[in-house]
Amino acid sequence: MTWTPALLEPARRRRTAAYAAGPTLEHALEAGRRLAAHGLASTIGYTATAAENARSVADAHLTAFERLAREQFECYVSVKLSALDFDARLFDELVAAARRTGRALHLDALAPETVDMTWRLLQDAPRAARLGVALPGRWARSVDDASLAVRRGLRVRVVKGQWATGASGTVDPAKGFVQVVDRLRGHRAGVAVATHDAGLLATSLQRLTAAGTPCWAELLFGLPFRAPAEAALRLGVPIRIYVPYGRSAAPYGVAELRHDPAVARWLIQDLLLGKEKMWRSIRRSSVPA
């Protein structure tokens, strides 16, 4: 039997469904409500299709803000500025919606060549807005960017980072992660520690809490939950789940099956459980129901 793309499509959809709430905002809001029932905050992030224009993507985020204004659970909106074409007017609309609804707006990390464009947009944003940025540990510049975020009073999400910057601008992701965390100790606007590496998460949260820094663990919907969540709970630190919706994708490629046994286990779980994998992992953890 020849496995054509059409025959493989149901398996692909089942695999990717494990890492997103679903295609619509309603799916994301329902996931946020379910997470809140477990005492977990959330972040919703819309993933646009390649064919969507910047105006349409901005409207999707504006709708998310308006809907969240009528919800009771703790949630903020995350945006990829590349999908807005770094349009200053559209960005200003999102900032205004964040201020009007009392919900935070967070800017996801993109490729390193986009960082300066991101900071140019933030330069003119009102300081009273609840804005945040993601800083990848693998970028050498992130330590200095952390200082800039502190001066501007921005919330920060620390991530390992997907995109390298070349030999001169790249550091070991875990080492750089801790360096960024250390630069943010005492930062009053708040720090999200976004890693599923339970050891790195615990080390980072310990450093932040010891300095009296408001902080939380931020985990990605569908990725291994129990170990990092319990590391955060042992330190009395709240947990937030990043919930993608829209055009979904798995965080691994099938080609990785040859090199990483963990990916093979993920694939089996994803095909067997789909989206239920996340909820089963929450129920099996020590997160209160």
Higher model confidence: residue 254 or residue 24? 24
Where does the pLDDT of residue 275 fall: very low under 50, low under 70, confident under 90, or very high at 90 and above? confident
pLDDT greater than 50 at residue 1:
no
CA distances from 270 to 27, 63, 64, 114, 222 (A): 18, 30, 28, 33, 9
What gap in Å lies between CA 115 and CA 145, rounded to an integer? 9
**Confidence (pLDDT) at 262:** 73
The residue with greater pLDDT, 163 or 46, is: 46
pTM exceeds 0.75: yes
| 11, 211 contact by CB (below 8 A) | no
Phi, psi of 192 (to 5 degrees): -95, 130
The residue ranges of DSSP E strands in the chain, in sequence order, are 41-47, 75-79, 105-107, 131-136, 155-159, 191-193, 215-220, 239-246
Distance, in Å, from the CA atom of 34 to the CA atom of 42, rounded to the nearest integer, reads 10
Q: Give, in degrees to the nearest 5, the angle at Cα 37 between 35 and 39.
A: 75
As a whole number, mean pLDDT of residues 240-264 equals: 77
The two structure tokens encoding residue 65:
């803000």
* Residue 249 clears pLDDT 60, i.e. is over it: yes
| pLDDT number for residue 124 | 87
State yes or no: pLDDT of 286 exceeds 80: no
Lowest mean pLDDT among 24-28, 108-112, 255-259: 255-259
Q: Which residue, chain included where needed, has tokens 């129920």? A: 283
Collapsed DSSP state (helix, strand, coil) of residue 69: coil
Task: Tell me what pLDDT residue 272 has.
Answer: 73
Residue percentage of the chain with pLDDT more than 90: 71
CA distances (Å), origin 103, targets 76, 122, 132, 227, 242 = 5, 17, 11, 29, 15
Q: For residue 199, give both structure tokens.
A: 């050891």
pLDDT exceeds 80 at position 177? yes
The tens digit of pLDDT for each residue in 48-94 reads: 998 999 999 999 999 999 999 999 999 999 999 999 999 999 999 99
Closest CA to 240 of 261, 255, 225: 225
The full set of domains in the chain, from first to last, is: 1-19+252-281 (no CATH), 22-248 (3.20.20.220)
- The string of pLDDT tens digits covering residues 132-152 is 999 999 999 999 999 999 999
Alpha-carbon distances, residue 243 vs 94, 100, 138 (angstroms): 19, 23, 23
